[in-house]
């Protein structure tokens, strides 16, 4: 079953790119919904004890121990759920007028979906690396073809940053591979079983950290992120922030910590320190932003900083919190970027100073935006709350001081989100905002679905925690530092 | 051996057929010869040779799996290049037969370089490969750049052969034999040693470094690549490079395999210099063909990594996969370049502006080739790099880190083409029409890249 999650997007992507049919959006939507159906089906019969479900394995380069091996434990399942849940929404939200030629855009988007599913399911080190890089190519094209000003320079910076980061990971993976016994193997279990000396583990952990820290991004490797998020077309930003950055956090849980735990006793405090510093740093910058898209980009650095800190704390609360927050942050950030897109579509600007008084003309829009915004602020009974609560608890258990500083994210988050919401919705209307039209059907479906998930996952976080519970117990039991 | 005879006969027939000025017969004749030779080579490679023809001339040749596999790569590449030649040679009239004939003679030399078991044969192979190319480089007689290319190539080439021959002489003086196994046993028994022998080995390294265009012996390459006719450049960048590396590896993995203490440092230094200098220089190029020249030098730097671990399991297969991936991608890139540049008269990156709108498939072929050359997963170019790097990782970790950094640098210049094709608006008034044969070659190339991506395994077991 896991193979279909990759094959369906790739085959439909090739079809869209080569045949360039007119009904490309419908085909893309159908393919992504088929993927979602398979995901839900896989979830229905899921064995959450931490073993790998739906395994598929064929040798790829047999002499060199490289396998095409896919499989899902609870952690992978949650990530696959995230990407396949968001893909139809992103396709539905993409404004066809903006993306010409449409077939190329949707083809690249589906290629991205296939690669992301591959990243989350790969159980072979080299296969993971291949999917990790493959995901970069379509998003690079999406951002550079349909992006805004300076797109070529900005996307090149993004590409080089992430590519160089993951090359370090490749070197680390090859090093680990050469330590495996016999004819060597890239299988996850074989790599995990390698015992490294503490100095080698130090290098391996740092190399992995570079790859994943760039992707997330964690301070000080974040400098590509605000420009790229702002310049990219909204569909690209949603993919980047909603799903792609989770490749980094997922990679830490699946690969970095299990492969090189020997050195993390010393390194984890440094990584958490960077992450926590990034939370405060990005939050303060977010408060001062006047461009709404840029504001959400910085808020994303803050949120992902907390997720990273929770993972490196490596206790049950931290890791469970990071997983549920990965899903919910993905949902919220897609909703928020869609709000930016709707505002920009109607007003032609993203500047907060040129907005105001929209709530009166567009009550539906104002309500749904508020629900999503509350989720991002982590108000209790929204989806943001359980994750942030668990994460802060986990970091606190690691070190109370770091937990207290990380806790500032709640206060800062409320400040910048409420400020933004107020500037957009309330106050006097200007000429443009007085004409503001409320949501049409398609926009309502997308934003409504996001808001529904915000509320549903806020009321029933246990749904999500149950998926990952067994896997987290198993991985924490097996790997300690 | 059979392929060599077929090609030699075809070359002579084509040469004489050229006198009759029936130009439409030339291409089927030459391409047919290459394809038959390719078929024979593949059947020998996959099913084994039953005729005993593969070991002839007092064992100065041995067409073992190594020779056959590289022969297949070179012949496949030549077939693809000949597929382009119907349009690529359209301006030639009187000399068409000569051009095909010389290319065929040159590939005969390549086959000798894959199969020698005697240093004299290596020398002869290099000469048979090179002399036709000196002529071909200057085949646009009224073009000053082409004349310059021919002269530079000839002077530098004969200089390099002189150095190589000097090295061979010194080695012979110490070992008393030209036979590879004989030299190897002389080294093992300790008979061959001392400064004269080591100087001979290092002179051979220098001579071969000229041939593979490694820094600091690379100065001829950019001018020769740029000045030569496009068809000839495509041939030089692919078949000649493959031949030079296969010969380099064959010599060092048999005769000098136990001497890595002598040549290891030298080649490691050359590899480091080659990668770094070529990649940084390529960043500043504005002309596509010149960029490809530096890119080919940088690939020589990566390939030297396999020479460093000559004799190690997997190193020969790594070179094979790498040269195959590199050759196919380079031919495809040249096919697109020729279509755009020769119709437009402009070979700079800006000639590619907006190509994705004019002809999406043409742009896609170029993009796939470039991604493969840059070694970006999951293209076969990545697997080529991966196996090279893994082979040399344990012995030379610092060199691998340098190679990885260089791969990242190369993205900057490779992506200039992609940026031009996809992200730059179209200000060129010209239109592009792709000759039908070009479409077939590109289709074959892209299919091969795709197949190798799915199954690099099929190549990696060929040399045992």
Residue A329, pLDDT above cutoff 90: yes
Q: For residues B302 and B275, is the Cβ–Cβ distance under 8 A?
A: yes
> Mean pLDDT across the stretch B308-320?
89
User: Using a CB-CB distance cutoff of 8 angstroms, which residues of chain B are in contact with residue A144?
Assistant: 419, 422-423
| Phi, psi angle pair for A239, to nearest 5° | -65, -45
pLDDT tops 80 at residue A85: yes
Mean pLDDT along residues B176-180: 90
Question: Is A61 close to B393, i.e. CB distance below 8 A?
Answer: no
Decide if pLDDT at A134 tops 90: yes
Which residues of chain A does B461 touch, with a Cβ-Cβ cutoff of 8 Å?
A: 63
Distance CA(A83)–CA(A35), nearest Å, equals: 10
Contact between chains at A175 and B386 (C-beta distance less than 8 A): no
Average pLDDT over residues B132-161: 91
Query: What is the DSSP track for A232-244?
Result: S-HHHHHIIIIII
Q: Kindly determine whether residue A171 and residue B401, on different chains, have CB atoms separated by under 8 Å.
A: yes
Chain B residue with minimum CA distance to A144 = B423
SS (H, E, C) chain B: CHHHHHHHHHHHHHHHHHHHCCHHHHHHHHHHHHHHHHHHHHHHHHHCCCCCCCCCCCCCECCCHHHHHHHHHHHHHHHHHHHHHHHHCCCCCCCHHHHHHHHHHHHHHHHHHHHECEHHHHHHHHHHHHHHHHHHHCCCCCCHHHHHHHHHHHHHHHHHHHHHHHHHHHHHHHHCCCEHHHHHHHHHCCCCCCHHHHHHHHHHHHHHHHHCCCCCCCCHHHHHHHHCCHHHHHHHHHHHHHHHHHHHHHHHHHCCHHHHHHHHHHHHHHHHHHHHHHHHHHCCCCEHHHHHHHHHHHHHHHHHHHHHCCCCCCHHHHHHHHHHHHHHHHHHHHHHHHHHHHHHCCCEHHHHCCHHHHCHHHHHHHHHHHHHHHCCCCCHHHHHHHHHHHHHHCCCHHHHHHHHHHHHHHHHHHHHHHHHHHHCCCCCCCCCCCCHHHHHHHHHHHHHHHHHHHCCHHHHCCCC
Q: CB contacts < 8 Å between A and B, how many?
A: 76
Out of B394, B400, B455, the one facing A171 most closely (by C-beta) is B400
User: Who contacts B118 (Cβ-Cβ below 8 Å, separation ≥6)?
Assistant: B59, B60, B178, B179, B180
Q: Two tokens at B84?
A: 């382009």
Q: Within 13 Å of residue A282, how many CA atoms lie on the same side as its CB? A: 32
Q: What is the mean pLDDT of residues A278-302?
A: 93
pLDDT at position A95 over 90: no
Between CA A207 and CA A213 the distance in angstroms is: 10
Share of chain A above pLDDT 90, in %: 72
How many helices and strands, by DSSP H and E, does chain A display?
23, 2
pLDDT for the residue numbered B424: 85
Would you state the pLDDT for residue B319? 94
First and final C-alpha spacing in chain A: 35
Q: Give residues 397 to 426 of B whose Cβ lies within 8 Å of A.
A: 400-401, 404-405, 407-408, 411-412, 415, 419, 422-424
**Can you tell me the distance from the alpha carbon of B413 to that of B284, in angstroms, rounded to the nearest whole number?**
8
| pLDDT classification of A387: cutoffs 50, 70, 90 | very high
| B217 has pLDDT over 90 | no
Task: Classify each residue of A359-374 as buried b or exposed e, where b means 16 or more C-beta atoms within 10 Å of its C-beta.
Answer: beebeebbebbebbbb
| CB spacing of A167 vs B456 below 8 angstroms | no
User: Which of B377, B389, B419 lies nearest to residue A133, judging by beta carbons?
Assistant: B377
Cα A64–chain centre separation: 32
Query: pLDDT by residue (tens digit) across B232-284?
Result: 999 999 999 999 999 999 999 998 888 888 889 999 999 999 999 999 999 99
A165 Cα to chain B: minimum distance (Å): 10
Contact B461 A141 (CB under 8 A): no
Q: What is the Cα–Cα distance from B67 to B87, expressed in whole angstroms?
A: 31
Q: Is the CB of residue B352 less than 8 Å away from at least one CB of chain A? A: no
CB contact under 8 A, B457 and A63: yes
By Cβ distance, the residue of A62, A130, A141 closest to B377 is A130
CA separation (Å) from A279 to A257, A395, B396? 22, 13, 40
Token pair of A441 as six digits: 């059907």
What are the start-end ranges of the H helices in A216-315?
225-231, 234-238, 245-251, 257-259, 264-287, 292-313
Each residue's pLDDT tens digit, A32-48: 999 999 999 999 888 88
Residue A301: other Cβ atoms inside 10 A: 26
Pairing of strands A53-61, A66-72: antiparallel
Q: Does residue B43 register a pLDDT over 80? A: yes
**Per-residue pLDDT tens over the stretch A231-278:** 999 999 999 999 999 999 999 999 999 999 888 888 999 999 999 999
- pTM comes to 0.93
Q: Write phi, then psi, for B426 (nearest 5 degrees).
A: -90, 110
Q: Mean pLDDT over residues B29-55, rounded?
A: 87
| Smallest CA–CA distance from B413 into chain A, residue | A156
- Per-residue confidence at B12, pLDDT binned at 50, 70, 90? very high
Residues in contact with B81: Cβ distance below 8 Å, sequence separation at least 6, in sequence order:
B103, B231, B234, B235, B238, B239, B331
CB contact under 8 A, B378 and A130: yes
**Chain A touched by B314 (CB under 8 Å):** yes
pLDDT band at A389; cut points 50, 70, 90 = very high
Of the candidates B378, B389, B457, which has its C-beta nearest A61's C-beta? B457
Residues of A in contact with B457 (CB under 8 A): 59-63
Whether the per-residue pLDDT at B50 is higher than 80: the answer is: no
> Taking all residues of chain A, what is their mean pLDDT, rounded to a whole number?
91
Structure tokens belonging to residue A386? 């359980």
What does the alpha-carbon distance between residue B200 and residue B413 come to, in Å, rounded to a whole number?
Answer: 38
B454 to chain A: closest CA residue: A60
The predicted structure's pLDDT at residue B461:
81
Q: Say yes or no to pLDDT of A286 above 90.
A: yes
CB nearest A62 (choices: B360, B371, B457): B457
Stretch B336-355: mean pLDDT, rounded?
87
Closest CA to A128 of A253, A43, A232: A253
Give the least confident one: A53-67, B44-58, B262-276, B433-447.
B44-58
Q: Do A144 and B422 touch (CB under 8 A)?
A: yes
Tell me if A87 sits within 8 A of A32, measured CB to CB: yes
State yes or no: pLDDT of A306 exceeds 80: yes
The closest CB to that of B378, out of A134, A141, A168, belongs to: A134
Average pLDDT over residues B47-52: 76
Q: Is B464 on the interface with A (CB under 8 A)?
A: no
Residue B191 confidence class, pLDDT cut points 50, 70, 90: confident
The helix (H) or strand (E) run that includes residue A357 is none
Residue A27 structure tokens: 């085909």
B411 and A160 within 8 Å at the Cβ level: the answer is yes
Region B188-204: mean pLDDT is 89
pLDDT at A327 over 90: yes
**pLDDT for residue B192:** 80
Q: Are B456 and A137 a contacting pair at CB < 8 A?
A: no
CA distance B55 to chain A (A): 29
Q: Mean pLDDT over residues B34-50, rounded?
A: 89
- CB < 8 Å to B387, chain A: 64
Residues A357-365: what's their mean pLDDT? 89
Within 8 A of A104 by CB-CB distance, chain B residues are 360
To test the contact with chain A by mutation, choose from B320, B378, B422, B452 the residue with the greatest count of A C-beta atoms within 10 A, namely B378
Spatial contact of A297 and A223, defined as CB atoms under 8 Å apart? no
Q: What is the 3-state secondary structure (H, E, C) of A105-159?
A: HHHHHHHHHHHHHHHHHECEHHHHHHHHHHCHHHHHHHHHHHCCCCHHHHHHHHH
Report pLDDT for B445: 95
Q: Do B423 and A145 touch (CB under 8 A)?
A: yes
Q: Which of B171, B425, B53 is nearest to A100 (CA)?
A: B425
- What percentage of chain B reaches a pLDDT higher than 70? 99
Burial level of B91, CB count in 10 A (0-12/13-18/19+)? exposed
Domain boundaries, chain A: 1-259, 265-481
What's the mean pLDDT in B51-70? 82
The stretch B359-373 carries a mean pLDDT of: 93
Token pair of B16, please?
């004489």
What pLDDT is stored for residue B231 in this prediction? Answer: 93
The arithmetic mean of pLDDT across residues B193-215, rounded, is 91
CA of A173: which chain B residue's CA is closest?
B390
């Amino acid at each position: 079953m896991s193979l279909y999650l990759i094959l369906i997007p790739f085959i439909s992507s090739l079809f869209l790119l080569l045949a360039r049919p007119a009904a490309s959006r419908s085909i893309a939507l159908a393919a992504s919904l088929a993927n979602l159906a398979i995901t839900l089906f896989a979830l229905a019969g899921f064995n959450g004890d931490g073993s790998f479900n739906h395994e598929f394995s064929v040798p790829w380069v047999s002499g060199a121990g490289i396998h095409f091996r896919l499989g899902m434990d609870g952690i992978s399942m949650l990530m696959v759920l995230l990407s396949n849940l968001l893909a139809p929404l992103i396709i539905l939200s993409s404004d066809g007028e903006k993306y010409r030629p449409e077939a190329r855009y949707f083809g690249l988007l589906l290629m991205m979906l296939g690669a992301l599913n591959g990243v989350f399911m790969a159980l072979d080190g080299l296969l993971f690396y291949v999917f990790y890089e493959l995901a970069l190519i379509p998003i690079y094209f999406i951002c550079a073809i349909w992006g805004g000003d300076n797109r070529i320079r900005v996307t090149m910076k993004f590409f080089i940053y992430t590519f160089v980061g993951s090359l370090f990971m490749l070197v680390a993976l090859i090093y680990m591979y050469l330590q495996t016994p016999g004819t060597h193997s890239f299988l996850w279990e074989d790599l995990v079983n390698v015992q490294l000396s503490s100095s080698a583990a130090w290098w391996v952990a740092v190399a992995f950290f570079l790859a994943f820290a760039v992707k997330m991004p964690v301070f000080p490797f974040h400098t590509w992120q605000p420009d790229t998020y702002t310049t990219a077309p909204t569909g690209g930003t949603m993919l980047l922030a909603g799903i792609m950055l989770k490749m980094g956090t997922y990679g830490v849980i699946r690969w970095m910590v299990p492969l090189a735990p020997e050195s993390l006793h010393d390194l984890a405090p440094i990584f958490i320190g960077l992450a926590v510093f990034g939370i405060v740093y990005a939050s303060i910058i977010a408060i001062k932003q006047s461009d709404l898209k840029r504001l959400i980009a910085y808020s994303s650095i803050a949120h992902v900083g907390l997720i990273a800190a929770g993972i490196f704390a490596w206790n049950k609360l931290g890791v469970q919190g990071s997983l549920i927050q990965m899903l919910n942050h993905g949902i919220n950030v897609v909703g928020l970027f869609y709000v930016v897109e709707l505002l920009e579509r109607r007003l032609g600007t993203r500047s907060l100073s040129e907005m105001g008084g929209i709530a009166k003309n567009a009550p539906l829009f104002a309500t749904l935006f508020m629900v999503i915004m509350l989720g991002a602020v982590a108000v209790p009974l929204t989806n943001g709350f359980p994750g942030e609560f668990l994460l802060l608890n986990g970091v606190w258990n690691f070190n109370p001081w770091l937990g207290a500083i990380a806790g500032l994210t709640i206060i800062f988050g409320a400040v910048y989100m409420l400020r933004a919401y107020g500037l957009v919705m309330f106050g006097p209307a200007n000429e443009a905002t007085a004409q503001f039209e409320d949501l049409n059907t398609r926009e309502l479906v997308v934003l409504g679905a996001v808001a529904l998930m915000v509320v549903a996952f806020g009321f029933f976080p246990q749904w999500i925690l149950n998926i990952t519970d067994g896997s987290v117990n198993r991985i924490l039991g097996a790997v300690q530092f | 051996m059979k392929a060599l005879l077929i090609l030699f006969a075809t070359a002579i027939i084509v040469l004489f057929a050229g006198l009759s000025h029936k130009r439409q017969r030339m291409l089927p004749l030459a391409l047919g010869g290459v394809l038959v030779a390719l078929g024979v080579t593949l059947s020998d490679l996959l099913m084994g040779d039953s005729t005993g023809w593969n070991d002839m001339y007092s064992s100065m040749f041995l067409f073992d799996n190594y020779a056959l596999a590289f022969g297949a790569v070179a012949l496949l590449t030549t077939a693809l290049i000949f597929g382009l030649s119907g349009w690529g040679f359209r301006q030639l009239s009187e000399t068409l037969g000569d051009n095909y004939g010389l290319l065929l003679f040159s590939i005969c030399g390549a086959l000798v370089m894959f199969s020698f078991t005697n240093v004299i044969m290596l020398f002869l192979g290099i000469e048979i490969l090179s002399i036709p190319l000196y002529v071909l480089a200057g085949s646009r007689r009224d073009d000053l750049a082409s004349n310059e290319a021919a002269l530079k190539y000839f002077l530098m080439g004969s200089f390099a052969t002189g150095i190589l021959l000097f090295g061979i002489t010194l080695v012979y003086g110490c070992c008393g034999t030209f036979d590879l196994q004989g030299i190897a046993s002389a080294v093992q028994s300790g008979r061959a040693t001392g400064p004269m022998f080591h100087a001979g080995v290092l002179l051979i390294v220098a001579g071969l470094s000229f041939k593979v265009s490694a820094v600091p012996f690379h100065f001829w390459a950019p001018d020769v690549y740029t000045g030569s006719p496009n068809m000839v450049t495509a041939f030089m960048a692919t078949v000649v490079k493959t031949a030079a590396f296969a010969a380099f590896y064959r010599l060092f993995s048999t005769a000098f395999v136990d001497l890595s203490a002598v040549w290891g440092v030298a080649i490691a230094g050359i590899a480091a210099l080659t990668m770094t200098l070529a990649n940084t220089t390529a960043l500043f190029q504005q002309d596509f063909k010149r960029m490809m020249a530096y890119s080919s030098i940088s690939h020589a730097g990566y390939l030297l990594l396999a020479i460093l671990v000559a004799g190690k399991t997997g190193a020969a297969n790594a070179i094979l996969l790498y040269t195959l991936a590199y050759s196919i991608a380079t031919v495809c890139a040249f096919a697109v370049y020729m279509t755009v540049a020769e119709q437009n008269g402009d070979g700079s990156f800006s000639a590619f502006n907006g190509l994705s709108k004019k002809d999406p498939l043409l742009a896609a072929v170029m993009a796939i080739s470039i991604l493969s050359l840059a070694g970006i997963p999951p293209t076969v170019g990545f697997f080529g790099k991966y196996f090279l790097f893994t082979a040399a990782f344990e012995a030379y970790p610092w060199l691998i880190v340098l190679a990885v950094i260089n791969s990242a640098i190369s993205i900057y210049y490779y992506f200039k083409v992609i940026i031009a094709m996809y992200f730059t608006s179209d200000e060129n008034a010209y239109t592009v029409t792709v000759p039908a044969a070009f479409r077939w070659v590109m289709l074959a190339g892209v299919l091969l890249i795709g197949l190798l991506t799915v199954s690099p395994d099929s190549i990696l077991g060929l040399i045992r």
